[in-house]
Amino acid sequence: MIANRGEIAVRIERACAEMGIRSVAIYTEPDRFALHVKRADEAYFVGDDPLASYLDPRRLVDLARETGCEAIHPGYGFLAENAEFARICTEAGIAFIGPDSEAIAALGDKVAARRVMHAAGIPITPGGMAALGGLDESRALADGLGYPVMLKTLRGGGGRGLRRCDNATQLARAWETLPEESGEAELYLEKCIATAQHIEVQVLADRHGGVIHLFERDCSLQRRNRKLIEVAPSPWLTPEQRAYMGELAIQAAAAVGFENAGTVEFLVRGNEIYFMEMNPRIQVEHTVTEAVTGVDIVREQIRIAAGHKLAFRQEDIRHHGYAIQCRINAEDPKNDFLPSFGRVTRYYAPGGPGVRVDTAIHTGYRIPPHFDTLCLKLIVWGMTWEETLNRAVRALDDMRLQGVKTTAAYYEEILRHPALREGRFDTGFLATHPELLDYSSKRHPEEVALVIAAAIAAHAGL
C-alpha cells in the first residue's frame, strides 16, 4: 500500500511495477480521478475529508490488512515521519518502508537528535540542548550566541516551524507567534548560520549493518527556508569536504541505529560544517541523486524493508555529471508566491536527452486547494555543470503548463544568472537577488494563437 498521493505515489507505483509487486492506492474525494489512483493495481476510497483521511494511521493499517498488503510505503509528508504509524504497522505484521518507530521518534525531536549527534562527535550548530523554559531563557541564550539566531519548534520540518530573529524584539515577537502558527508549544534556539550552503547527504542502511552514502545534494536555492531548486552533486564542494560529509552522514545513521533511506542535512560555511537534522524518509529531491548515481532509491527502500542486504557497497557508488531538479509549483512568484489552484487547461511535458519529469498532473487535471502546490518535478542531467544548466533552461522553455500560474519562468531566470553559472550561490541567494522576479511573462506565439482562437470561439458562441 502507498499511504500517500500525487507524484510520489506514482513514483512508488512505478518502482513496484518494475519489481513485480502489486500496488494499492488510497484516495479521498478530490483525488477520485487522480493519476496515482488510475496507475495502481487496486485503489480504495478512505474518506470524505480531503486531508484528514490520509492521516488516520489505524484506518490505513486496517485497510492494508484487509487488502492483503505485506508493506506500506509512506512517501514523504503526511504520515512519513509519524512514529505511531510505524509502530502500528509493525504490531500488525506489516512492513513499514522506512526506519523503525524508535528511530523516527528520536529524530523527530530535534533537540534530542542534536544531543545524540553531539555525543557521537558530529559537529552541530551552536545552540541549546533542551527545550526552552520561557522568553527570558531564550533571550539569555541568544545574547550568549549572538544574533542572528533561529527560534525553532522541536518537531518542525520542511521549512516550517522556524523563525530567524535578528534582535531581541524579533525574538520576543517570534516567541509569541511561532507556537500559534506551528501548533507546537515547545521551542529551542540555535545560532543562525547565515550565507551558508545547505547540503544534505543521502544514506541507505539495511538491518544487517550495511550503511552507505550516495553523496550529496545542494539545496541552497530556497525561499524562506523552502527548497525550490536542488542540485547534485554540489558544484563547489571539494573532494575532501565531500568525503568528510559522507563519513559524518554514515556516523549519524549509525548513532540512531537507522535503517532504510534517510537524509542527513548540514549547513556549510567555508570549512565549517554543522549538522542540522536527519530526515527519516524519502526526500522530494531524491531524483537528482538517482540521476548522478544510477541508484533507484525507492527500489532499495523496498528491498531493505523486505530484509535484503544493500545491493551496493560504498566502493560501488560513483557520481557522474550533474543533475538539477526544479519544483514546479502552482504559485505566482510576482504576487508573493500566492497559490494558483485550478484546472490545468494544457500540459505538455518536456523531453529529450537527460530529461525526466515526475508528476501526477495532466491536461484537464484540477489542482485541489487541500494539498501543497507542487505540480511536477523537472529533473535534468548533463555531463558538465554548464550543459546541465543549459538543458534545464531549455526544458523549462519547452514545457507548457497553462490554466494556472507556475514558478517555471522564475526558475529560468534563476538558472541564467551569471553567479549561479559560476557555482556561487548560498541560502541567501534568492533573497539577495529580488531582481530575478522581474522576468518577462510574454507568451509563446502558439499560446497567443490559442488565446485568440478561444476569444473568437467565445464571441461566435461556439
Find out whether 226 and 156 touch, Cβ atoms under 8 Å: no
Q: What angle do CA 222, 235, 406 make, to 5 degrees?
A: 35
Co-location of 265 and 361 in the same domain: yes
**CA gap 270, 5 in Å, rounded:** 39
Same domain for 388 and 240: yes
Helices and strands per DSSP (H, E), number in the chain: 15, 21
**Domain CATH for 431:** 3.30.470.20
Whether residues 217 and 314 fall in one domain: yes
Q: Helix crossing, 135-145 with 168-182: angle to 10°?
A: 130
Is 446 inside a domain boundary?
Answer: no
Show which of 191, 213, 244 is a domain's final residue: 191
Reply yes or no: is the peptide bond before residue 233 cis, omega within 30 of 0: yes
Claim to verify: residue 171 and residue 230 sit in the same structural domain: no
Residue 257 and residue 376 in one domain: yes
Q: Which residues are catalytic?
A: 281
- Pair (243, 320) in one structural domain: yes
Which residue range is the domain that position 410 belongs to?
197-438
Q: Are 125 and 108 in contact (CB under 8 A)?
A: no
Region of residue 224 (left: phi > 0; alpha: psi -120 to 50; beta: else): left
Write b or e for each residue in 62-85: b if 16 or more Cβ atoms lie within 10 A of its Cβ, otherwise e: ebbeeeebebbbbbbbbbbbbbeb
Q: What is the dihedral sign for C-alpha 358, 363, 364, 366?
A: positive
Q: The CATH number of the domain where 152 resides is what?
A: 3.30.1490.20
User: pLDDT, tens digit, for every residue of 240-263?
Assistant: 999 999 999 999 999 999 999 999
Regarding whether 172 and 294 lie in a shared domain, the answer is no
70 and 143 co-located in one domain = no
- Count of domains for the chain: 3
Q: Which of 200, 202, 199 is nearest to 312 (CA)?
A: 202
What are the pLDDT tens digits along the chain (462 aa)? 999 999 999 999 999 999 999 999 999 999 999 999 999 999 999 999 999 999 999 999 999 999 999 999 999 999 999 999 999 999 999 999 999 999 999 999 999 999 999 999 999 999 999 999 999 999 999 999 999 999 999 887 666 789 999 999 999 999 999 998 888 889 999 999 988 999 999 999 999 999 999 999 999 999 998 999 999 999 999 999 999 999 999 999 999 999 999 999 999 999 999 999 999 999 999 999 999 999 999 999 999 999 999 999 999 999 999 999 999 999 999 999 999 999 999 999 999 999 999 999 999 999 999 999 999 999 999 999 999 999 999 999 999 999 999 999 999 999 999 999 999 999 999 999 999 999 986 655 555 555 555 555 556 655
CATH number of domain containing 47: 3.40.50.20
Q: What does pTM read for this prediction?
A: 0.93
Residue 323 sits in the same domain as residue 203: yes
DSSP state of 124: B
Domain end point (choices 141, 158, 191): 191
